Amino acid sequence: MSDFRLLAMATLKIYQRAASRACAGCLLNWRMLFVHLGGLALFAVLGGAAQLMGPIAGGFAAGLLLAVLLGAYFFTVSGAVLLEKLEFSEIKSRGFSLFAPVLSVLFSFFLLSIAVNLVFAQGGSAWIAAVFNLLIAVFFNPLPEIIYLHPSRALDMFSESIEFIMENFIEWYLPFVLLLLPVALFRPEALLAVGIAAATTNPFRFLEKFILLFGDFSLLLHSAGVIMVLLVCCYFVFAFRGALYRELSASTRRKRIYQERFG
């Protein structure tokens, strides 16, 4: 049997194990969905209050609040990925442990965006900035998983992310390409736009947009059911990502081929 076929079979088994682990972890911690909903409500209250502080102070306060909520969210995802049953009390005692690494990554992204706009967005070089932003989104895509599985200094986490993507580019992105199949089947004219949006959106940016969009009391009151469904889907996707990262980072393609042939 060829190495390519062995690698394909091994990769499919990894996807199956990651999906099974994500399902088990989300069911084990289903109560964390109320924490996610509470986070949106908290942002609706405190985010609105931050706007009253002015554009600079308010933006800084909202950024800190966002880092707190993302840290707590990633903590709940880690429980699903590691199959640890979390208690509500742990969100306060252990959830804040990820605040510092999340804040350092958000601040690094902020500095990168400023640097890219200053260097490339002038003199008709906007397309270069777009390409650079695409590279940032691609190579730093697994940062959420690194934050809660291997938290360290921002530079080390960025370096680990690049190394992981260079080693597992196809295996990491193939499941998310498959998510675009429903769009290709039902809205083929929208495939390009959706594909570009998905490819250029870092998971941090996705969660930011999610919180900013649904962290509104009017939406929470009138669309709570829809929001809960979206929270369930989001929880599973991020748990799947975490389980997949653990599987892929623990082996190499050569090792997977060997294990499939002789294991």
Q: What is the pLDDT of residues 154-193, one digit of tens each?
A: 999 999 999 999 999 999 999 887 777 776 666 666 656 6
Q: 64: Cβ–Cβ under 8 A, 6 or more apart, which residues?
A: 103
What is the torsional sign of CA 54, 66, 109, 236? negative
> What mean pLDDT do residues 124-140 have?
78
Q: Which residue has the higher pLDDT, 117 or 250?
A: 250
Rounded Cα–Cα distance for residues 41 and 218 (Å): 10
Can you give the length of the chain in residues? 263
Position 73 scores a pLDDT of 95
User: 208 versus 21: which is more confidently predicted?
Assistant: 21
pLDDT tens for 60-82 read 888 889 999 999 999 999 999 99
* The pLDDT of residue 199 is above 70: no
Where do the H-state alpha helices sit in the chain? 3-28, 32-51, 55-81, 88-93, 99-120, 126-139, 143-149, 154-178, 181-186, 191-199, 203-214, 217-222, 224-249, 253-262
pLDDT for res 27: 97
Q: Where does the pLDDT of residue 208 fall: very low under 50, low under 70, confident under 90, or very high at 90 and above? A: confident
pLDDT, average across residues 137-165: 93
